[in-house]
Amino acid sequence: MHNKNFLARLSAFLPLFALLVVAALALRRIDDFDTWWHLASGRWIALHMSVPVTDPLSFTVPHNEWINLQWLYDLSMYGVYMLAGANGLVIAATLCFVGTFVLLLANVRRVLPPLAATLWLVWVAMTVSERLLVRPEMASFPLLAGVLLILARGRGNEGRRLWLLAPLMLAWANLHSLFIVGMAAIVCACGGAVIAQAPLLPRTWRRDSAWPAPARKRLFVWGAIAAACTLVNPYFYEAWVFPLELMSRIDGSSGVYQVIGEFRPPFSGYFPTFAIGSYQLMVFSAVAVVVGAGLVRALGRSDGHDAARDGGFDVGALVFTAALAWLSLLARRNIGVFAIGAAPFLAQCAKVLVSRLPRAWRQADGMAIRGLTLAAPAALVALMLFVASNAWYARMGETHEFGLGVFEANFPVRAVEFFRSQGLPGPTYNDMTAGGYLAWDDPSGKGVYIDGRLEVYDTDFFSAYMQSLNDGRLWLQEADRRGINSAILFHRWGNRQSLIRFLVGSRQWGLVYYDEVAAVFVRVSAAGDPLVSKARTAFMSEWRPRTDALLDGPCATWSWQWPVERYTAMVAYARLIEVLGDRDLALTLFEKALLLPLPFDYELETLMRAARYRAARGDLAQARMHLERARSLDPHNSDLLSMIAELDTMSH
């Protein structure tokens, strides 16, 4: 009896461990490129006491319409930043995402016991982990979970709390364009309540989808009021139309957007992570569970059977889940919406299937259940520590770090300081990655060339941007046409390096600054040689030593954490130096990086690059040491084996 009481108490606390896992995944330093333009937007709104109707942040499309459906989010986050800085934003995001899972927990616990609910929430959290960013999803996720919980409970309490849909949708329509997903959930619930009255479906499906008459009436009334509330926004009915127009960004009809990772389909094979694998497994499992539950209920009892006890098979929730699945298959950015929005219905379907298992398999005091209950806390604590140590991100190849503050290896912070200190001229060209931060901290004061607001930059502009980024001659024509006098390029991505090489070899442009994040160029003809010479002197005497000191100095992480920012910065800097042609310094930097704990892909590539430079210098023994270390990591790598064979030839 004592053991049973202990297990019962432990089981009741298990969901708390799932919420702690969510908190660990969400508590990460600011690393998303778009966070900064949201802050810039909020600052503009606060200063002008209005919502802009055209783009105020760029010099390239100042007359383009900007339907900024997340204006209230931007303003709120700017307020948080002004009060509590970057740490405040991280904490706010963590609270929002944990709140999302608190609401999900309340929903799935209606049909799942504590252990099953805990494991399900952890699965959802790991699937959503890519989207736990300081972006408007931190508002949309809890609002979606809240709307679904209100709808789920609306049947049992005669719909007395359905009035909450109205203020939630009013807020959501001014926080993020994903409010359309919340309205879809309400419409699907109304549709399910209607179709439950028609003899078109199996009786059990109709029973599971039915709403009691008082609740059904309130659902229709408050659903209509909620829809009307979404029109209370700065753009009126355009708020409904615009999210549908943006579908061209993710539906594949405009192929140019497929260069953006989050717009690619999650089954495309692009940058596989644990979250993507978790999502793919969830999709296949969802199909099996939904089909199985649908068949079980269709062939089940149609009398006074208690559907709520089994979870039920709600047709409205089925349609909503299918719509979210379709959206998620279009673009990986929608994975989080699918996982959170589908979680309650999939839990109901799982309950239907479990309820048909033999009673002996379902007993809570079974040996397997007891073992899982005892093991779950330790396993979840280990998972939390795995995330907090950054090992999770290192193993997945993701540039995130657990903790507070800013992941500065993602943003041109010092490049902007240098630009401003030297009085470099604008307008300034920037790539889209650097554009988010430059929208916030614009050293020229003339606005950005482009940032992440693809609702502002139309398809023609974005296509031209991509073409010029990959073709130096087109880039020069664009720079001349727009009177661009300087450029700040985020250099970590490989598709920036060809433009950097081109500009380094151009007589019209001078490289005046570079660090582990960005390279800065100035038009020689516009700025004049004296300004370029002055900037280069300042860079060599003051700013380059600052970069060296930063990369050689103590890491921002604790000794028990993987230094993700440090090795990301070190390897990126080494690759840039390689592009600039300084092989000796590149070798030094690559070998410094090898002194850090590196994830598999980083270590393998760094070893091979260092070996290539060592061999070119005639240091064959050191080159072989690097290659043998690489072979211990990946003994079947064809490029590596070719390098070893070539080295053997050189040795003889």
What one-character-per-residue DSSP string does 177-201 give? TTHHHHHHHHHHHHHHHHHTTSTTS
Note the pLDDT of residue 223: 96
Task: Please state the pTM of the whole predicted model.
Answer: 0.94
Structure tokens at 597: 């704990």
The answer to whether residue 151 sits within a structural domain is yes
Same domain, 548 and 574: no
The answer to whether residue 268 sits within a structural domain is yes
Same domain, 145 and 95: yes
Coil, strand or helix at 65: strand
Note the pLDDT of residue 263: 85
Same domain, 126 and 206: yes
Note the pLDDT of residue 305: 46
Q: CB of 282 within 8 A of CB of 127?
A: yes
CA gap 602, 598 in Å, rounded: 6
Going by their DSSP bridges, the two strands 518-523 and 486-490 should be labelled as antiparallel
In the numeric block, the tokens 């959503």 are attached to: 128
Would you give the distance in Å from CA 168 to the centre of its chain? 24
The answer to whether residue 365 sits within a structural domain is yes
Number of domains into which the chain is organized: 3
CA gap 526, 531 in Å, rounded: 10
Note the pLDDT of residue 403: 96
Per residue in 405-423, is it b (16+ CB within 10 Å) or e — as a string?
ebbbbbbbbbbbebbeebe
Note the pLDDT of residue 529: 78
* Domain region containing 473: 411-552
CA gap 354, 352 in Å, rounded: 6
Same domain, 303 and 433: no
Note the pLDDT of residue 246: 76
Given 495, 528, 552, the domain boundary residue is 552
* C-alpha distances out from residue 69 to 60, 159, 387, 453, Å: 21, 30, 33, 12
Note the pLDDT of residue 528: 62
CA gap 592, 294 in Å, rounded: 58
Note the pLDDT of residue 526: 58
Q: Is 194 exposed, middle or buried (0-12, 13-18, 19+ CB in 10 A)?
A: middle
CA gap 507, 496 in Å, rounded: 19
Residues 6+ apart with CB under 8 A from 96: 138, 139, 141, 142
Note the pLDDT of residue 367: 72
Coil, strand or helix at 134: coil
Same domain, 432 and 383: no
Q: What DSSP assignment string belongs to 533-599? A: HHHHHHIIIIIHHHHHHHHHS--SS-TTS--HHHHHHHHHHHHHHHHHT-HHHHHHHHHHHTTS---
Q: CB of 186 within 8 A of CB of 225?
A: no
Note the pLDDT of residue 518: 97
Q: Phi/psi at 488 (nearest 5 deg)?
A: -125, 115
The answer to whether residue 40 sits within a structural domain is no
Note the pLDDT of residue 2: 55
Same domain, 103 and 224: yes
Same domain, 309 and 440: no
Note the pLDDT of residue 365: 58
Structure tokens at 384: 């939390």
* C-alpha distances out from residue 511 to 474, 499, 603, Å: 19, 12, 30
Mean per-residue pLDDT pooled into runs of 10, the chain (652 residues): 73 92 97 97 97 95 94 98 97 98 96 93 96 96 97 85 96 96 96 89 90 93 96 91 78 75 87 91 96 90 48 90 95 95 96 78 67 89 96 92 96 97 95 96 95 90 93 95 96 92 93 97 79 93 96 91 96 96 94 94 94 91 92 92 88 70
Please report, for the domain that includes residue 607, its CATH number: 1.25.40.10
According to DSSP H, which parts of 254-334 are helical? 274-298, 307-310, 315-330
Same domain, 293 and 433: no
Greatest CA separation for the chain:
89
According to DSSP H, which parts of 299-443 are helical? 307-310, 315-330, 335-354, 359-362, 367-388, 391-396, 413-421, 432-440
Q: Which amino acid belongs to residue 422? A: Q
Same domain, 325 and 448: no
CA gap 51, 564 in Å, rounded: 38
